[in-house]
């Protein structure tokens, strides 16, 4: 291949992965060496997340490469090159400077997936301020909670969001100095300003300010239906993990077109929808519209997407349609599908290989970890239903917590997934909640709250959240195991399992089931599915009750909200439900 020749999609699809020998790579890997490879200092000043994601590519001659391909709801298409992103983020950094925004002050964004969101994110971090995304479906109460906890200095939003959600709460957010409206041509007042006017007046030249690696870059709030949200603090050094996992887990290669379907309101949409693909110099698709299967399939086909990063929910939705629907589309550009957000059912892995002719790789991480920690790799065999193995540079273990002491579980024994503290993207605190942060660690290990097993080959298997595990008649039942068994039934599209309070057994297993298209609920089908589960799991673990559900409640990242099902079952207050996806009841 000539030096200037672009690799064909066939070359990209079938070329060797970046990581070919997992064991050897793990033995030789260190985060220090990873920094040296990128020309970064081992410690201290000299790193800025946005330099790694944008400016580096411009300075090294890749400025005209498409960084973001934005697809509007109305079929508009806009390509933003790395040079363009550099200029626009520089303008916004200068806007923040003119508004006297100081390093470490928080810039919140409440917006749909429009170019201004991405420019604001990058311009904020290049100016040493802190980017905090808010999901656009939040109502006034969750917006107010998060902006108060984060002491918001600036809010970037649209006129519609401002009128419906911000005006009613504006007098109560004393830290907020300016609201910038992305769709107004002129300033409304000294506090409510026009994005367009500010950007027109700002210079495209901005000398990027290098930070200390421990300087705060991102503030991500965890989602939930009850309790106060937690603001997880991430620093500029996190980009080292974003870059490394993009290259070796998601397996980004030269010339790739990549699509992360997550909204930047969730951590996946920022870490792997903005930073990771940009730092690896590939083209990232951004779709403004909400999920629509025909639109998604058309995007993959039309834009020749090579790597798709999405949720198990989206993949299960694809499984629900007849195969002849999918046969209308050309998925030959797809080299890999990666999944995150909740455990990936083994049925989805087998379906991907059979129907899309594409491997589906599960991986695990959390808002607090900042990046992928456990993953299936192209160089290793996929064990359907497994989370995968720990990534190079991460020491993961299964532990038991007894008071303040940790003991390590044996192979195939259930315990809590723990990570040895100290990786670059590890959260550095919960804003304003120091005690809550300290409770996450024991003896130098971060405790994830997820129950797992680890087999003899080092693969981790998800059992359930610590607070989701069902205790029935002396048995501990992991909901994921039951859900997988239910999904093996040919009529079942999705399942969610909870523990229903019972005066004798403590809890009984109850399942909520969504049926595939063409299958109608009936008592006979309910008995058939229950009998099927009893044969697969045995009477102690199989559900004692099944309820058919049109669409299981999920948040916008696609995670089934089992705790919401349980609160509804027991009649407890539901709490904040503004993060539910539109199809959730």
What does the pLDDT read at residue 225? 44
Across the range 15-31, mean pLDDT stands at: 93
What does the pLDDT read at residue 323? 81
Distance CA 246, CA 235 (A): 18
Q: Which of 545, 11, 62, 23 is nearest to 281 (CA)?
A: 62
Q: Name residue, tokens 């400077």.
A: 97
Q: What is the band of 43 on the pLDDT scale with cuts at 50, 70, 90?
A: low
* Domains (range + CATH), the chain: 9-454 (3.40.50.12780), 470-570 (3.30.300.30)
How many angstroms from the chain centroid is the CA of residue 457? 27
Q: Which range is least confidently modeled, 25-29, 58-62, 114-118, 478-482?
A: 478-482
Structure tokens given for 283: 């083209």
Annotate 257-317 with three-state secondary structure. Answer: EEEECCCCCCHHHHHHHHHHHHHCCCEEEEECCCCCHHHHHHHHHHCCCCEEEECHHHHHH
Distance CA 170, CA 561 (A): 30
Q: Which of 257, 278, 243, 247 is nearest to 121 (CA)?
A: 278
User: Quick check: 466 pLDDT over 80?
Assistant: no
User: Quick check: 582 pLDDT over 60?
Assistant: no
* Cβ atoms 287, 71 nearer than 8 A: yes
- Return the SS3 of 570: helix
Q: Which of 521, 566, 526 is nearest to 542 (CA)?
A: 526
Enumerate the β-bridge partners of residue 192. Answer: 179
Q: How many residues does the chain have?
A: 585
Distance CA 495, CA 480 (A): 9
Distance CA 81, CA 84 (A): 5
Q: What is the band of 87 on the pLDDT scale with cuts at 50, 70, 90?
A: very high
If one counts every other C-beta atom within 10 angstroms of the C-beta of residue 443, the result is 13
What does the pLDDT read at residue 492? 93
Q: Which of 323, 267, 321, 262 is nearest to 293 (CA)?
A: 321
How many angstroms from the chain centroid is the CA of residue 444? 26
User: Quick check: 9 pLDDT over 50?
Assistant: no
Across the range 381-386, mean pLDDT stands at: 94
What pLDDT, in 10s, does the model give residues 164-177? 999 999 999 999 99
Distance CA 578, CA 236 (A): 30
195 compared with 265, residue with greater pLDDT: 195
User: Quick check: 210 pLDDT over 60?
Assistant: yes
Identify the sign of the CA torsion 105, 108, 113, 115: negative
**pTM, rounded to two decimals:** 0.84
If one counts every other C-beta atom within 10 angstroms of the C-beta of residue 457, the result is 11
Task: Kindly list the distances between the CA atom of residue 298 and the CA atoms of 221, 285, 318, 446, 583, in Å, as whole numbers in the listed order.
Answer: 33, 13, 13, 41, 22
User: Quick check: 82 pLDDT over 50?
Assistant: yes
User: Quick check: 496 pLDDT over 80?
Assistant: yes
Identify the sign of the CA torsion 344, 346, 348, 350: positive
Distance CA 559, CA 491 (A): 21
If one counts every other C-beta atom within 10 angstroms of the C-beta of residue 484, the result is 20
């Amino acid at each position: 291949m000539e030096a200037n020749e672009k690799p064909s999609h066939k070359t990209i699809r079938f070329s060797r992965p970046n990581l070919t020998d997992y064991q050897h790579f793990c033995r030789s890997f260190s985060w220090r060496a990873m920094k040296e490879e990128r020309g970064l200092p081992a410690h201290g000043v000299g790193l800025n997340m946005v330099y790694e994601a944008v400016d580096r590519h411009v300075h090294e001659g890749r400025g005209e490469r498409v960084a973001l391909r934005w697809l509007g709801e109305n079929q508009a298409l806009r390509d933003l090159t790395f040079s363009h992103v550099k200029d626009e983020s520089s303008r916004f950094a200068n806007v923040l400077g003119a508004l006297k925004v100081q390093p470490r002050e928080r810039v919140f964004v409440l917006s749909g997936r429009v170019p201004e969101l991405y420019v604001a994110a990058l311009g904020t971090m290049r100016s040493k301020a802190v980017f905090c995304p808010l999901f656009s479906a939040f109502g006034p109460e969750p917006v107010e909670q998060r902006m108060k906890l984060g002491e918001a200095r600036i809010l970037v939003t649209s006129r519609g969001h401002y009128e419906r959600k911000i005006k009613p709460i504006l007098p109560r957010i004393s830290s907020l100095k300016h609201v910038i409206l992305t769709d107004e041509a002129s300033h409304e007042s000294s506090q409510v300003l026009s994005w367009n006017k500010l950007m027109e007046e700002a210079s495209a030249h901005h000398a990027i300010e290098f930070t200390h690696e421990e300087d705060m870059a991102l503030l991500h709030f965890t989602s939930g239906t009850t309790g106060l949200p937690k603001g997880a603090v991430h620093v500029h050094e996190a980009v080292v993990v974003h870059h490394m996992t993009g290259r070796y887990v998601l397996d980004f290669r030269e010339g790739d077109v990549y699509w992360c379907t997550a909204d930047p309101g969730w951590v996946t949409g920022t870490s792997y929808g903005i930073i990771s693909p940009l730092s690896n110099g590939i083209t990232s698709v951004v779709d403004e519209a909400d999920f629509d299967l025909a639109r998604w399939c058309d995007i993959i086909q039309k834009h020749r997407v090579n790597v798709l990063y999405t949720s198990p929910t989206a993949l299960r939705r694809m499984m629900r349609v007849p195969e002849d629907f999918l046969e209308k589309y050309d998925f030959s550009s797809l080299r890999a599908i990666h999944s995150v957000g909740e455990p990936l059912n083994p049925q989805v892995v087998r379906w991907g290989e059979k129907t899309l002719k594409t491997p589906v790789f599960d991986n695990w991480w959390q808002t607090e970890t900042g990046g992928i920690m456990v993953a299936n790799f192209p160089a290793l065999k996929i064990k359907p239903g497994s989370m995968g193995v720990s990534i190079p540079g991460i020491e993961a273990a299964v532990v038991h917590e007894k008071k303040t002491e940790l003991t390590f579980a044996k192979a195939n024994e259930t315990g809590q997934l723990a990570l040895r503290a100290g990786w670059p993207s590890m959260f550095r605190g919960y804003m304003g909640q120091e005690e809550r942060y300290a409770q996450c660690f024991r003896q130098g290990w971060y405790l994830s709250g997820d129950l797992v097993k680890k087999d003899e080959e080092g693969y981790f298997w998800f059992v359930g959240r610590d607070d989701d595990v069902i205790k029935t008649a002396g048995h501990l039942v992991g909901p994921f195991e039951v859900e997988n068994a239910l999904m093996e039934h040919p009529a079942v599209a999705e399942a969610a399992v909870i523990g229903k309070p019972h005066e004798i057994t403590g809890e009984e297993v109850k399942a909520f089931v969504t049926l595939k298209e063409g299958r109608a609920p009936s008592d006979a089908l309910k008995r058939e599915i229950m009998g099927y589960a009893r044969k697969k799991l045995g009477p102690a673990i199989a559900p004692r009750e099944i309820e058919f559900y049109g669409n299981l409640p999920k948040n916008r990242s696609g995670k089934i909200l089992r705790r919401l099902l349980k609160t509804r079952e027991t009649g407890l207050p539901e709490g904040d439900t503004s993060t539910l996806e539109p199809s959730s009841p």
